Chains A and B, each alone.
Chain A
Amino acid sequence: MSSYLVTLLITMGMYIILALGLNIIVGYAGQISLGHAAFWAIGAYSFAILTTKFSLSFVLSGILAVIITVFIGVILGLPSLRVKEDFLAITTIGINFIVQAVFKYTPFFGGAMGIGGIPFPKWGDNMFTNTQFFILTYIMVFFAMLVSFIFKRSWAGLASSAIKDDELASDMVGIDPRRFKILAFALGSAYAGIAGILYASFMGFISPEDFSFAVSVAILSMVMVGGENTIVGPTFGAILLISLPEIFRPIQDYRMLLYGGLLLIMMRFQPSGFFGEGGIVWRLIKPKKS
């Protein structure tokens, strides 16, 4: 494989993990989040700090980074217990900006210059090749899918669907909405943490600009365009939205226009996404019941 293709596929893998993580929060538990890049940033920065400033090993830093991301993710998920829908959307946008600002204006986190020299994983004494990193990424993608699958068919998944449909009614049948919302945020953050580690390590350099609000919108677009509440949907959405700008390289400058336009068309004609319930793909594959 050419190194260009490997890089592209690794980026795609990271976004698949991010989209699947956001899907747990938005698609499964119905808690809108427009600040998913913030969780990604926390994962990436934790890993960067632990490896560069504390010189911890790749694996140990990775594990700690995920724990830190989950911990902060749960705290940032607390507003979802109090605010709903539009208000939650705005709150999560705020969280995105705050987290970005903290990384940008705190010298400890490298400020606007970011953090460089983040190590690549090692295999014995040798540095990973890009192909090995690609394999590592897709092992993580596989686990992300597996956990999503287990979650969706578990009691916790059922409880989350119930909360998404009617929070009060779910409370009345013995589901503690707070518990399962926090659980969704914790899982979603764990995914973002893993994606953050992969990103920081692969790029070797991160700066606050990598985790802007526009990135959060892009991740949410992947989930919605592909079809929330499914596993194949966000995966497809990530592949589509990462590969489209590459295919249409000549119009690279119009990438955000492409995202926006696609999102608009999807919301108008296919609100449940390509692979969502009643989505266009299922209608094409399955013969209509008479």
Chain B
Amino acid sequence: METNKTKEILKIQDIRVQFGGLSALDGVDLTIPEGAIFGIVGPNGAGKTTLFNVISGILSPTAGKVYFNGKDVTGNPPHVMAKIGIGRTFQVVRPFSSLTVLDNVLAAYGERFYSNIVLSFKNYRKKVYIEEVDKILDETGLLDFRDRVASTLPLGYQRRLEIARALALSPSVILLDESFSGLSFSEMDELSELVLNLNKQGITVLIIEHNMPITLKLCQTISVLNYGKKIAEGEPDDIVHDPLVIEAYLGKKRGKV
């Protein structure tokens, strides 16, 4: 590996996840430098979402370690991961469907109050908090929808809502699980704009994406997973020409007859 001067914010070491006899992840190592936009690609079932589940604490790995800012955070539950600054979105959107957009984001903003029993009983609809959340809604383009019930939003906005919710945690790393899928071209453009903006503010972004043009455009480094193993890693240009990657996506060249 190249030696980079920048600090590594997230380090994944020899992660293995076993579902019965199936190895979803089979010894994956990743090092994500602070401030990067880092892409994770691979065919369906390669273990990408499983990897996100491990990083965000939804799954405990069978073996291996996750380091965040140099600290071992392996196996912490999701709310602890959220507290230390790891936000994520879900591939299949999971908004708090009966709450308004504002309340959805407030629910995440409240992360700083939940561990204190006295603060927990304070009124959450205070002007200070709402103003903070309005800033996030403005940034994610949701301000016009703030009083709409989340389940009534179109998919593109529900995806933004998930990002807004993750941002309310003031995260240092944000994991986007196929946030671009199912969006129109103009929605994709707006969303990549948003991702670049967040990155400029110093948030490290991890992206799982099937849409190659977007991935190649946004990411500085891309890791390719296949069958739970990392088969390639590098800059976008190198990745698309890597024979192993082409093989994983398109199959082996037929041998000479």
Contacts and interface: CB of A to CB of B under 8 A. Distances in A.
Contact of A155 (B79, B88, B124): B124
Contacts of B79: 171-177
A120 interface: no
A168 interface: yes
A276 B152 CA distance: 18
B106 A173 contact: no
A156 B120 contact: yes
Interface string B78-95: 110111000110100011
A173 B82 contact: yes
B25 interface: no
Contacts of B97: 165-166
B173 to A, nearest CB: 13
A112 interface: no
A76 B90 CA distance: 33
Interface in A137-162: 150-151, 153-159, 161-162
Q: Which of B58, B78, B83, B123 has the most CB of A within 10 A?
A: B78
A93 B247 CA distance: 56
A161 B107 contact: yes
B95 A277 contact: no
Contact of A174 (B82, B95, B98, B122): B82
Nearest to B84: A174
Contacts of B249: none
B75 interface: no
Contact of A168 (B94, B98, B120): B94
B111 A176 contact: no
B169 A173 contact: yes
Contacts of A159: 107, 110, 114, 120
Interface in B171-216: none
Interface in B49-87: 56, 58, 77-79, 81-83, 87
A278 to B, nearest CB: 11
A260 B95 CA distance: 34
Nearest to A156: B120
A151 B114 CA distance: 13
Contact of A169 (B96, B113, B123): B96
A170 interface: yes
B88 to A, nearest CB: 6
B125 A171 contact: no
29 contacts: A154-B124, A155-B119, A155-B124, A156-B114, A156-B121, A158-B103, A159-B107, A161-B98, A161-B103, A162-B104, A165-B96, A165-B99, A166-B96, A166-B97, A168-B58, A168-B94, A169-B96, A171-B58, A172-B56, A172-B58, A172-B78, A172-B87, A173-B111, A173-B166, A174-B169, A175-B79, A175-B110, A176-B79, A179-B114
Interface pairs A-B: 4 shortest CB-CB:
A174-B111, A173-B108, A174-B82, A165-B96
Given A162-B96, A172-B81, A174-B111, 16 more contacts: A151-B121, A154-B122, A159-B120, A161-B107, A165-B96, A165-B99, A169-B90, A169-B94, A170-B96, A171-B82, A173-B79, A173-B168, A174-B82, A174-B108, A175-B79, A175-B107
Interface of B: 56, 58, 77-79, 81-83, 87-88, 90, 94-99, 103-104, 106-108, 110-111, 113-115, 119-125, 165-166, 168-169
Interface of A: 150-151, 153-159, 161-162, 164-166, 168-177, 179-180, 183, 277
